[in-house]
Amino acid sequence: MTMHVPFTSTLSLDIYGSEGPTVILFHGGGWVAGSPAGIAPLAKAIAQRGAVVFNAPYRLTYAGGGFPMTFEDAACAVRFAAEHTTEYGGDPGRLIVVGHSAGAHIAAVVALAGDTFDGDCLVEMNDTLPMKLVGLAGPYNTDALEPLLEPFFGTDPAVDPEPWRLGNPFTYLDRNPDLVVRLIHGDQDQVVPLIFSRHFARRLSAHDYDVTLTIVPGADHSDIVNPAAYGDLTVDAIMR
């Protein structure tokens, strides 16, 4: 059964599964496109393995999102899941944040940043720190994404660097040192270069995180979220 449940005054998420760890899933789309529907097959595959999955939207760059609203929405989804997962059979002590592509960048920020982003949540503000982050083909270092992300951050980093700093997961590497991180990237990804995951893994390792980078031979940008392609590998990384 799938349930469609509001978590802010304007956004609703889809809930799959009935028992197990709690997984919050964020879709990709270059910060300007995409929706939970695009990653629903992966959400269902995770739920079938034994998890309660919260497949969450967030406001996109040209639809009321960007900095900080997109991160506020994502943080609200994590807090909502932590607060309500027991109602659906989920375990709030096993909170796993997963994102693909731009969603991996967003997931990394909210998994590390704690209570930094406080949006229009339908739950009380709390410092929710997930136990695990799974990043799928993510572009993590915003310093390497100029000028692509200028519309998202609404500023040139040379003029106002603060939004760029707060939207970079590297800023928060001292916040959640117990976070387990699993990164997956295809070696044929022509959308987000593999170097992004390599760089993030190195930075996490330098801060003594439990981090593993899995490079998937022959996989492109979308293969790793396709249950018919490499979905088992991805679901294994989430559930183990």
In this predicted structure, what is the pLDDT of residue 114? Answer: 86
Q: Where are the domains of the chain?
A: 3-239
Residue with tokens 């893994």: 201
Separation in Å, CA 20 to CA 96, 99, 213 = 11, 19, 25
d(CA 70, CA 61): 8
Work out the angle between the directed axes of helices 102-113 and 69-84 (0-180°, nearest 10). Answer: 70
**Residue 234 pLDDT exceeds 90:** yes
What mean pLDDT is predicted for residues 217-229? 96
Express each pLDDT in 9-52 by its tens digit: 999 999 999 999 999 999 999 999 999 999 999 999 999 999 99
**Residue 127 pLDDT exceeds 80:** no
Report whether 192 contacts 149 (CB < 8 A). Answer: no
d(CA 90, CA 88): 6
In this predicted structure, what is the pLDDT of residue 115? Answer: 85
Name the pLDDT band for 120 (thresholds 50, 70, 90).
confident
d(CA 118, CA 107): 15
Name the pLDDT band for 84 (thresholds 50, 70, 90).
very high
What mean pLDDT is predicted for residues 183-196? 98
**Residue 162 pLDDT exceeds 90:** yes
Nearest partner of 14 among 108, 176, 141, 42, judged by Cα:
42
What mean pLDDT is predicted for residues 106-127? 89
Q: How far apart are the first and last CA of the chain?
A: 24
* CATH architecture of structural domain 3-239: 3-Layer(aba) Sandwich (3.40)
Mean pLDDT score across all residues of the chain = 96
In this predicted structure, what is the pLDDT of residue 145? Answer: 93
Per the structure block, which two tokens stand in for 131?
């136990």
In this predicted structure, what is the pLDDT of residue 1? Answer: 62
What mean pLDDT is predicted for residues 78-95? 96
Angle ∠(128,131,135) on CA atoms, nearest 5 = 105
